[in-house]
Amino acid sequence: MVRWQPISSSVPALALGAVLTLAGCGGGGDAGTPTGLSASVPSAPSNLTATPGDATVTLSWSASAGATSYLVRRATSSGGPYSSLTSTAQSEYVDTAVGNGTAYYYVVAATNAAGESPHSGQATATPVASAPAPAAATVTVTLNPAATRPISPYIYGVNIAAAANTYPAGTPSALPEDLTLDRGGGNRLTAYNWETNFSNAGSDYLYQNDTLMSSSPVAGAAITGTVASDQSRGMASLITVQMQGLVAADATGPVSVAAPPDRGRFKAVVFQKSSVTADPFTTTPSTSDANVYMDEFVWAVDRHFQGQAVFGASPLTQPVFVQLDNEPELWNTTHLEIQGAASVPSDTYIDKTISLAKALKSLFPEMVTFGPAHYGFFGLYAWQGELAASPTGNNWFTDKYLAAMKTASASFGKPLVDVYDFHWYSEATDGSGNRVAFLNGSSLTDAQINAIVQSPRSLWDTSFNEGSWINSALGGPIHLLPRLEAKIAALNPGMKLAITEYYNGGARHIAGTIAQADSLGIFGARGLFAATLWPLVSDQPYVLAGFRAFRNFDGAHHHFGDVSVQATSSDTSKVALYASTDSTRPGRVVLVAINRSSAAQVVAVSGLPLSGTAHLYRMSAVTAASQGTVSPVAAGTQGVSGSSLSLNLPALSVTTVDIY
């Protein structure tokens, strides 16, 4: 498979442009368990807690890898002897056979077919006849069951998933389980030649032509290998199709930018093969001619996965979406070797988009296409200064693009661009000029923590000022998603939104977990079609942990629901809560409650009928301190009924509540 590897990020004026290189090419697959070897006895459960109630003790513990069940044992003396209470497949148990005023001591062992683990550490609790009165709520959250919207499955995505454990120097972070979308994008893709797998590093490294994406002689292997890897993970793919106009013709190293482009080092991109030759499509294209054909490229990808309809409306496996190149406003810097010093005019770019989209959709009418893949705000606002945009006007590049796509699509008879996408590396600062995207150490000041955990609010909150140049340019809160939603509704209804690169910092701090979880909650609540995280650093355990608040939060592959329920917090600066229901399990409700403040909060949730038991899973600086992979820890259960629920949220924490 192809291993994709980011190695640096460029920071052009006013925004961050993410970059991409590709490294390594591996083959083979999982060899499986050698014949004759049996499974291992699981490790002892950890983090056992015992919480007393009125004639009850609620036990919870961290799951053990490989365990199929747990044996709960109890004693009335510290250290035993212990008597067996139950065997359970869950990592929690409520002991109701206890009396108030008596101290009880508990241990848990994990079991599987190979045997029983050692006991966990002992936990103790003394049930009480009357629990203390609950603390008064500090924040209220109101749920509105009349305001719902589907949550797209494609918001839980990353860039270059195949390289998740091969990032540059540093200890790599494990990729979260059950992610849904992988984007193969970035600067490397703009000059990728699918016929030979040659590409150009652009400004990332000496504008070099090489075989870093793949050394395979098989046409398109860098892309088909990645899609195959994604399919094996159960992930959809977003692949990049070249639109700038030139792609690498060799793999012989740095390209001179003294008088770009050096046409001897590149081949011309042709959107529609039939426009220049009557030769049929082939999966083994000639590499001796001057052209590389884009419609033939996607045809070859489809042929590689023949019968799966990867570009169709109902693929048999996971879909493959298409992005129309990458960060075009920056081609004159990131790809000076092919663009030259002059930026591409917005009219020229729009014409290219229409021509390429027509060529692709003439072959695959149901293909889902993304564009323009803006590098950041200044691109979608003013096309890097070409346009005289105004904060409240309809003169943004977005307006121009949406109107042009609507007109061209009407003429073509089908939408040419289905998803409007952009990149969002937060420009929020800590008050001292430091951008949150670059605050990735394990030790952060209070101001830096607050800047990171508040930064996702700029995507939607009409009352939040992030203190960046964007905030100043717009004369107030950014609330970017509602602005774009309104423009789409007015100019090209039906087009979807995506953020295909984003990052809010906090790679090695609980602030990163909070910002990432908040971003995912926003994506679902606002109805984004797709989102893919771009890693700016190699080791980011806390950022990746944010996915686990929504995906596989219990270690048993249970997830946030697929229908968003509107949730309104009385103090968003302290608490955000995202609510969902599950279309496959009536009555199930899943919440993700985020305390971004430095003090514990008591949250009163109301407005949605609830029944059953609330199962809590939590991440905080305390729970993460002893973990190799930052993940939610079982935090007990609560009985629920009626339409209200009280949650005690520790400072700087993310709590997933699964109610069923």
Residues recognised as catalytic: 327
Question: What residues pair up with 594 in beta bridges, in sequence order?
Answer: 576, 654
Task: Give Cα separations from 514 to 98, 250, 460, 621 (angstroms).
Answer: 38, 45, 16, 11
Cis peptide before 42 (omega within 30 of 0): no
**Torsion 421-155-527-298 (CA) sign:** positive
Q: Report the run of H or E that residue 334 belongs to, with start and end.
A: helix 331-334
DSSP states of 352-383: HHHHHHHHHHHH-TT--EEEEEESSHHHHHHT
CB atoms within 10 A of CB 78: 9
User: CA 143 to CA 141: how far, in whole Å?
Assistant: 7
Q: How far apart are CA 648 and CA 655, in angstroms?
A: 10
Inter-residue contact 542 to 508 (CB < 8 Å): yes
CA distance 198 to 556: 42
Rounded distance, CA 87 to CA 404, Å?
64
What is the distance between the alpha carbons of residues 264 and 141, in angstroms, rounded to a whole number?
Answer: 63
Beta carbons within 10 angstroms of residue 176's beta carbon: 23
Amino acid identity for residue 333 in this structure: T
Q: Which among 367, 247, 228 has a CA at the least distance from the CA of 298?
A: 367
- The one-letter code for the residue type at 415 is P
**Residue whose C-alpha is closest to residue 658's, from 550, 535, 537:** 550
What letter does residue 435 receive in the DSSP assignment? B
- Give CA–CA dist 639/650, Å, rounded: 20
Closest CA to 561 of 593, 516, 592, 603: 592
**Strands annotated E in 19-175:** 21-25, 46-52, 57-62, 69-75, 83-88, 92-95, 104-112, 115-116, 123-125, 139-150, 157-159
Give strand ranges (E) for 548-600. 563-569, 575-581, 589-595
For residue 209, give the nearest of 264, 169, 259, 166 by alpha carbon.
264
Exposure string for 190-210, b = 16+ CB within 10 A, e = fewer:
bbbbbbbbbbbbbbbeebbbb
- Beta-bridge partner residues of 568: 142
Element (H, E) at 605: strand 601-606
Cβ-proximal residues to 22 (8 Å cutoff; 6+ apart), any chain: 2, 3, 4, 5, 163, 188, 199, 212, 213, 214, 222
Sheet harboring 208-210: ordered strands across? Answer: 199-200, 208-210, 253-254
What is the C-alpha to C-alpha distance for residues 177 and 552, in angstroms, rounded to an integer?
7
